[in-house]
Chains A and B, each alone.
Chain A
Amino acid sequence: MAIKPEDALRAIAAARGDALCVPTMTTAPAWRTIAPNDLSVGCVGFMGGASSLGLGLALARPDRRVLVFDGDGSLLMQLGSLATVAGAAPRNLVHFLFKNGVYHTSGAQEIPGGGGVDFVQMAKGAGYRAASAIGELGELKRRLPSLLKEEGPIFVELHTGLAEATPMTAGMGTPFHQQVERLRGQLIAS
């Protein structure tokens, strides 16, 4: 049974501490309900950029954990970012991939390769320090404490169903520039 993305996000929210978070596409509406205005910046409007946005944060603030909530369709749009992240080797970055096999936001069309694309192998091949798949919520909860502590970059492919809301049904939320300004203010002050 696929993990409900909202359940995965709630589990991560409970364990994250003061980690910075970068949701994108279908994780964004749920995340802003689960962790409103809280050390997060959404990647909406430049699909595929979440891991690079997270990389910049991780490099700028090596003292903070950075968690990226990527999508499989999104990652395919900037697949080279796997090599860029691995090359930069940020020890504080965890790259969660919410894999549902479709472009949910645009109407659930199947992504190229469908659910068969093995992103774990891709991340390993790119040079991530660790990469694995998780298909059950219980396993995610068990592994989260170590995932949030171990040296990165770490890649975690979560096998999920479809989110309850998308940016199309729930709206985009706070404008991107306000999210940027808010997180920058929080980081500069800390």
Chain B
Amino acid sequence: MPESIPAPLIIDTLKDTFREARAALAAEGVRPRHDHLGWILSVPDTHQKTVLAALDKERALRVLTCSTEDEANAVAAGLWMGGEPFVLMIQHAGLYASVNTLRGVAMDGRVPIFSMIGLLSREKDKDPRESRHSMVRYCEPLLDVFGVPHARLEGPDDVHLIPEYYRLAQKRRGPAAVLVGLETA
């Protein structure tokens, strides 16, 4: 059975992910131009609201709230060109809304956009692909159609997937995602 992941665990994992990313950028010759570790590009997701609330108090991670997921993807491309690490935090509905930008920016632009996608309304006792909610049910198949690698965060033991899929996005120069199964704690 899936479990909720505590927000502090996700935030600590994001910090470690960004530290590793900064080290990789430094090895590439990128000079740091900011004090913070990285950017969270967010279109607020009910499912990850405890993480977003905790991020408000974080100085090491800079949150930029975007009006739409289309914007978040395009902002990400600009940050990528400028040598800044970032993570998108969005909801499945936002994925559906921004499919053209996912294609145009992350895929055609070969920009390593790593996203944490909240599966709002996912039932605890059901596989997401069998959910009675279409917004839950279609998320993984949509990512499959576009060839976007993805994994499920089903509990605290799965947070290692955050840095793994972040690295995967960098390695394949394209999008990768983790799906947040239950509302964060």
A residues apposed to B, CB below 8 Å = 41, 43, 45-46, 48-50, 52-63, 78, 80-81, 83-84, 87-88, 175-177, 180-181, 183-184, 187-189
Contacts and interface: CB of A to CB of B under 8 A. Distances in A.
24 contacts: A46-B101, A49-B74, A52-B71, A52-B75, A53-B74, A53-B77, A56-B81, A59-B39, A59-B75, A59-B79, A59-B84, A60-B33, A60-B82, A61-B82, A80-B71, A81-B71, A84-B65, A84-B67, A87-B65, A187-B81, A187-B82, A188-B28, A188-B30, A188-B83
A7 to B, nearest CB: 27
B66 A52 contact: yes
B81 A177 contact: no
Interface of B: 28-30, 33, 39, 64-68, 70-84, 100-101, 103-105, 108-111
B74 A52 contact: yes
* Dominant SS among interface residues on chain A: helix
A83 B66 CA distance: 8
A180 to B, nearest CB: 5
B4 to A, nearest CB: 30
Query: 4 closest Cβ contacts across the A-B interface?
Result: A56-B78, A60-B82, A80-B67, A52-B74
Nearest to A59: B79
Contacts of A41: 81
A184 B83 contact: yes
Contacts of A43: 74
Given A46-B70, A61-B33, A180 B79 contact: no
B26 to A, nearest CB: 11
A49 B78 CA distance: 11
Nearest to A55: B75
B33 A188 contact: no
Of B67, B81, B84, B110, the most chain A CB neighbours within 10 A belong to B81
A60 B83 contact: yes
Contact of A58 (B28, B78, B104): B78
A71 to B, nearest CB: 15
A45 B84 contact: no
B84 A60 contact: yes
Contacts of A59: 39, 64, 75, 78-79, 82, 84
Contact of A60 (B70, B78, B108): B78
A180 B70 contact: no
B109 A48 contact: no
A188 B100 CA distance: 28
A46 B100 contact: yes
A95 to B, nearest CB: 13
A55 B104 contact: no
A81 B67 contact: yes
